Amino acid sequence: MRLSLVSAFIYVCGALAQSGSVSSYISTESPIAKAGVLANIGPSGAKSSGADSGIVIASPSSTNPDYLYTWTRDSSLVFKALIDQFTTGADTSLRGLIDEFISAEAILQQVSNPSGTVSTGGLGEPKFNIDETAFTGAWGRPQRDGPALRATAMITYANWLIADGNTTFVTNTVWPIIELDLNYVAGNWNQTTFDLWEEVDSSSFFTTAVQHRSLREGITLANAIGQTSVVSNFETQADDLLCFLQSYWNPSGNYITANTGGGRSGKDANTVLTSIHTFDPAAGCDVVTFQPCSDKALANLKVYVDSFRSIYAINSGIASNAAVATGRYPEDSYQGGNPWYLATFAVAEQLYDALIVWNQQGELNVTSTSLAFFQQFLPSVTAGTYASSSSTFSTLTSAVKTFADGFVLENAQYTPSDGGLAEQYSRSNGTPVSAVDLTWSYASALTVFAAEAGTTFASWGAAGLELPSTCSAGTSSGTVAVTFNVNATTVWGENIYITGSVPALQEWSTSTALLLSSADYPIWSITVDLPASTQVQYKYIRIYNGQVTWESDPNDEITTPASGSYIENDTWR
């Protein structure tokens, strides 16, 4: 049963949970979240002893899970939040800490690690020891979002420094660090990567989107300080990234498929985090960059949120158009596969960002793509543009505000009375689980609270971007060459075939399934022309003496790229 909103603390399963209004939660939690971030930054953070200067620990938890490492992704997102506070004047005391972060990351860039050296791929290494030495254990590497996120954080600071008259420091100290990261992005974005959850090795929407953003703002910075030699290559790569970004859209499911591999539904907080981390208030509701109020981002948000309604016990009994607790992705089982604070806050933040833009532009647009999202709040609404003077605009924006607040209140309900934010809270009873004091959870509170207050930040150049004509063919009608490799041990006379959901894969027929070549046995292989930008399901089958054996469930699934070719590596299941 849902707890009513009383301005009091309520007792839930051994932990004091917080309930009340959004504003009362924000006023209590905001200083706690800020202190929580600062406690996890070395050398003097209260919970980060042993961390070098400017090093962000992911969490002080050292067992189950051991998060006493520094991740480039977490650190960069956390410092982006701090740099935003500094550059907007919300906290002018942070400059020394930001400079320490820059020095620390400059050191980490040069540390040789299992992904390589600074010039041979080492920038894609996901995490380091907190004394700035390499982590050499097995891990999902590389993770190519890190350099892009770090560049974005530093570019935000660099732009402020330039406006403040300190171009020399930018040119001599900050730009060389940014340039290494951006060259890595420009040179490697087309290679596969582990996703932000460190599990799926393919291409990933979040990674592609933050890479695109980093190059666009990198171009502007490079021009501003006369480092123009990189510009033309960055422009070419950014255009290609923007093309590729479109290919994650799944038109039949009305959502963004998070990864090109992984064999999951593809519904994932990855996509919501993308919307908030590439929000550019100057870009309105532009759809090519999936702005928070774009029809595709809103349609996606609904599908993502709905995927958690029935799987978490704590969400049961909540109306189908009200906020629920959300996690990384519905199939998640890591540390119990529970709701995550940072995922649930991200939903609220996307909605607050959308409200900022609708109010700023004085209208709201409903399209066939976003219709299902809006009909949750007003079943009779139809596609159209609604001016801020219309009752439809007021009804929808106030419902969206209530919906957004609801996600904050979900987290509030499961925030213990000391305000500590772990990584997850139990799907069955809401008690905090997994890593305690997750730095990224605290940072996600800071950014959603800022969005709730209507705070906006400088543009990164998303306004007016158009898809280059070179990619329009691939996104609509073209085909791409997809190579399927599957590792399968067979007996003599037994063969491996593929069949799947589209005509080119014989529409699940076993009698006309396509035979793979065993030239590289035990790898069986075939290259098939498949429609571009399309979600395709398939399975391998083995046929021996006319007997068909299917792979176990679920079906395998890929989303083909907009253009070019694609290689899928599988193991027989």
Binding of ligand NOJ at residue 268 (CB under 6 A)?
Answer: no
Question: What three-state secondary structure class fits 426?
Answer: coil
Nearer CB in complex with ligand NOJ: 58/288? 58
Judged by CB under 6 A, the chain residues 330 through 349 that form the site for ligand NOJ are: 334
**By the rule CB under 6 A, 196 interacts with ligand NOJ:** yes
Pick the closer one to ligand NOJ by CB: 352 or 440. 440
* Structure tokens that stand for 160 in this block: 């402020």
Closer to ligand NOJ by Cβ: residue 77 or 182: 77
Q: How far, in Å, CA of 482 to CA of 101, rounded?
A: 42
Q: Is 550 annotated as a binding residue?
A: no
Does residue 197 touch ligand NOJ according to CB under 6 A? yes
Ramachandran class of 284: left when φ > 0, alpha when ψ lies in -120 to 50, beta otherwise: left
Of 118, 161, 122, 171, nearest to 143 by C-alpha is: 122
Pairing, β 9-12 against β 15-18: antiparallel
Told to check if 440 binds ligand NOJ by CB under 6 A, we report yes
Least distance in Å: CB of 422 to ligand NOJ? 11
The piece of 38-46, 65-73, 106-114, 353-361 that touches ligand NOJ (CB under 6 A) is 65-73
Q: Which of 491, 515, 517, 492 is nearest to 505 (CA)?
A: 515
Q: Is 198 in the site for ligand NOJ (CB under 6 A)?
A: yes
Whether residue 257 contacts residue 290, with contact meaning beta carbons closer than 8 Å, is answered with: no
CA–CA distances in Å: residue 28 to residues 245, 418, 549: 39, 10, 59
Nearer to ligand NOJ, 73 or 539 (CB): 73
Name the minimum Å distance from CB 329 to ligand NOJ.
10
Q: How far is the CB of 86 from ligand NOJ (least distance, A)?
A: 23
**179 interacts with ligand NOJ by CB under 6 A:** no
Segment interacting with ligand NOJ, rule: CB under 6 A, options 78-86, 129-137, 191-199, 209-217 = 191-199
Residue nearest to ligand NOJ (CB): 334
* Residue number with CB closer to ligand NOJ (255 or 329): 329
Q: Are 76 and 156 in contact (CB under 8 A)?
A: no
Task: For Cα atoms 45, 49, 53, give the angle at the middle one, nearest 5 degrees.
Answer: 65
List residues with catalytic annotation.
195, 198
Cβ 145 to ligand NOJ shortest distance, Å: 9
Nearer to ligand NOJ, 197 or 312 (CB): 197
Strands in 288-447 per DSSP E: 363-366, 384-387, 424-425, 432-433
**Binding of ligand NOJ by 539 (CB under 6 A):** no
Residues 6+ apart with CB under 8 A from 409: 5, 19, 22, 25, 323
Contact with ligand NOJ (CB under 6 A) among 199, 235, 331, 494:
199
Contact status: 195 vs ligand NOJ (CB under 6 A) = no
Q: Which is nearer to ligand NOJ, 70 or 300 (CB)?
A: 70
Per CB under 6 A, the segment of 172-180, 196-204, 298-306, 538-546 that binds ligand NOJ is: 196-204
Whole-angstrom distance, CA of residue 318 vs CA of residue 486: 43
DSSP state of 228: G
The reply on whether position 101 binds ligand NOJ by CB under 6 A is no
Distance of CA 527 to CAs 28, 371, 546, 566, 571, Å? 58, 38, 24, 9, 16
Among 33, 34, 67, 370, binds ligand NOJ (CB under 6 A): 67
Q: Are 285 and 359 in contact (CB under 8 A)?
A: no
Within 133-172, the residues that bind ligand NOJ by CB under 6 A are: none
Q: Pick from 33, 51, 60, 71 the residue near ligand NOJ by CB under 6 A.
A: 71
Q: What whole-number distance in Å separates Cα of residue 364 and Cα of residue 387?
A: 7
Report the nearest approach of ligand NOJ to the CB of residue 72 (Å): 9
Using CB under 6 A, count the residues that bind ligand NOJ. Answer: 11
Q: Do you find a cis peptide bond into 554, omega within 30 degrees of 0?
A: yes
Q: Is 297 helix (H, G, I), strand (E, B) or coil?
A: helix
Choosing from 17, 41, 58, 258, the residue that interacts with ligand NOJ (CB under 6 A) is: 58
Side-chain half-sphere CA neighbours of 561 within 13 A: 23
Interface region with ligand NOJ, contact rule CB under 6 A, candidates 68-76, 91-99, 306-314, 500-508: 68-76
Question: In the structure encoding, which two tokens stand for residue 364, read together?
Answer: 């709201």
State the minimum distance, in angstroms, from the CB of residue 116 to ligand NOJ: 20
Which parts are annotated binding residues? 139
Residues contributing to the site for ligand NOJ (CB under 6 A): 58, 67, 71, 73-74, 196-199, 334, 440
Q: Which residues are annotated as a binding site for substrate?
A: 139
